[in-house]
Amino acid sequence: MSTAETRRTLKFDILEKSIVQDKNFLCTIVSYSIILAIFLNLNTFQSPFIGMIAFVIYYVINAVFLGNAFFEKENTFFRLMFGVLLLTLFLGFVGWLALIIYNLDATRVTLVLLVTATLSSLLNKRMKRRDASS
Is the CB of residue 58 less than 8 Å from the CB of residue 117?
yes
For residues 75-82, give the mean pLDDT: 93
Residue 105 lies in a domain: yes
Residue 82 lies in a domain: yes
User: Can you give the residue range of the structural domain that contains 105?
Assistant: 23-126
* Alpha-carbon span 52 to 34, nearest angstrom: 11
Residue 108 lies in a domain: yes
Q: Where are the alpha helices (DSSP H) in the chain?
A: 3-21, 26-40, 48-70, 76-101, 106-133
- pTM comes to 0.89
User: What are the φ/ψ torsions at residue 104 (nearest 5 degrees)?
Assistant: -95, 105
How many domains are contained in the chain?
A: 1
Residue 79 lies in a domain: yes
Residue 84 lies in a domain: yes
User: What are the φ/ψ torsions at residue 74 (nearest 5 degrees)?
Assistant: -80, 165
- Work out the mean pLDDT of the chain and round it to a whole number: 90
pLDDT reported for residue 1:
65
Residue 7 lies in a domain: no
pLDDT reported for residue 63:
96
For residues 41-62, give the mean pLDDT: 96
pLDDT reported for residue 133:
77
